[in-house]
C-alpha cells in the first residue's frame, strides 16, 4: 500500500511544470519525503509571514491566494487548481510566505520540503530553470495585475477576471465564483461587480442563472478589456 501511494505521489510531482523534468529517482525521493493533507473548504493553508519551508502542490481542489491590508481589505492575487504549485518564490530565496492561502473547496495538497527541492535544483539544471521561469511568470502576472489596477476601470478588470477563469465546453465558469470572490479578484465591491455583470448580460456577452455564469461571447469581453 505504501509503495502504491509513493508511486501515485511521484506521478503527481511529474505532472507539475516545476518538477516534470526531474529524473524518476529524484521524484521518488521527493515523494517519500512529502506529506499529504486533506483540507475542508474555507481552511487556512498558510498565512503571510509563515516559514516558506515547503513547496505546495495542489492534488485536487482549488486555492485562493489573498493579501490583506491593516484595515481588513482583501485582494485575491490568484486562484490555483489541480497541478499548480505554490511556494516557488520561497524555494528560490528561502523567504517566508508573502500572502495568505485558503481553500475554496475541499482540497488535497502535497507538501514537499523546501530543502529537498533545493537539493534537486542544485543537481538538475532543468529543475533550477523551471523554478526561475516560475518566479518570472509570477513577477509578470503581478506586474500585469498592477497595471490593470492603475489603467483599467472596474468593468474592464471584471471582464479580464471572467476570461481568466476555467470554463467548460459550454462556457460555464467552473468552479463557480461568488460575487464576493469576483470583487476580491477585481479589487472592487460586490455592488459594483453586480452592476458590471448586469451590464455584460444586457449586451449578451454572458448569462447568469442563479450562481451559474456562462461566458457567451469571450471575444467581445476580450475586446472590451483591451486584450
The pLDDT tens digits of the residues spanning 86-133 come to 999 999 888 999 999 999 999 999 999 999 999 999 999 999 999 999
Residue 50: what pLDDT?
A: 96
The pLDDT tens digits of the residues spanning 81-98 come to 999 999 999 998 889 999
152-225: CATH number: 1.10.10.10
pLDDT bracket for residue 71 (50, 70, 90): confident
Q: Which residue has the cell 511529474?
A: 14
Q: Where are the beta strands (DSSP E) in the chain?
A: 35-39, 44-46, 54-60, 63-68, 74-80, 85-86, 100-103, 107-113, 206-209, 212-215
How far apart (Å, rounded) are the C-alpha atoms in residues 91 and 113? 9
Question: 2-137 belongs to which CATH class?
Answer: mainly beta
How far apart (Å, rounded) are the C-alpha atoms in residues 10 and 59? 12
* pLDDT value at 31 more than 70: yes
Write down the pTM of the prediction: 0.83
How far apart (Å, rounded) are the C-alpha atoms in residues 41 and 99? 18
Does the N-terminal peptide bond of residue 182 adopt cis geometry, omega within 30 degrees of 0? no
Highest mean pLDDT among 34-43, 64-73, 182-191: 34-43
Q: Are 128 and 120 in contact (CB under 8 A)?
A: no
> What residues does each domain of the chain span?
2-137, 152-225
Decide: helix, strand or coil at residue 223.
helix
* pLDDT value at 211 more than 90: no
Amino acid at each position: 500500500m505504501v509503495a502504491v501511494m509513493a508511486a501515485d505521489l511521484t506521478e503527481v510531482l511529474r505532472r507539475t511544470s516545476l518538477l516534470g523534468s526531474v529524473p524518476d529517482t529524484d521524484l521518488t525521493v521527493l515523494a517519500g519525503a512529502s506529506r499529504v493533507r486533506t483540507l475542508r473548504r474555507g481552511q487556512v493553508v498558510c498565512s503571510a509571514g509563515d516559514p516558506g519551508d515547503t513547496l505546495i502542490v495542489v492534488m485536487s481542489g482549488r486555492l485562493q491566494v489573498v493579501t490583506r491590508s491593516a484595515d481588513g481589505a482583501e485582494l485575491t492575487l490568484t486562484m490555483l487548481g489541480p497541478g499548480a504549485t505554490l511556494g516557488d518564490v520561497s524555494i528560490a530565496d528561502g523567504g517566508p510566505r508573502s500572502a495568505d492561502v485558503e481553500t475554496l473547496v475541499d482540497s488535497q495538497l502535497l507538501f514537499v520540503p523546501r530543502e529537498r527541492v533545493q537539493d534537486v535544483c542544485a543537481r538538475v539544471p532543468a529543475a533550477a530553470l523551471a523554478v526561475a521561469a516560475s518566479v518570472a511568470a509570477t513577477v509578470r502576472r503581478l506586474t500585469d495585475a498592477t497595471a490593470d489596477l492603475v489603467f483599467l476601470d472596474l468593468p474592464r478588470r471584471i471582464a479580464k477576471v471572467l476570461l481568466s477563469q476555467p470554463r467548460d465546453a459550454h462556457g460555464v465558469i467552473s468552479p463557480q465564483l461568488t460575487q464576493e470572490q469576483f470583487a476580491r479578484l477585481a479589487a472592487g465591491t460586490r455592488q459594483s461587480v453586480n452592476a458590471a455583470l448586469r451590464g455584460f448580460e444586457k449586451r449578451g456577452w454572458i448569462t447568469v442563472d442563479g450562481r451559474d455564469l456562462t461566458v457567451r461571447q469571450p471575444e467581445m469581453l476580450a475586446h472590451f478589456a483591451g486584450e
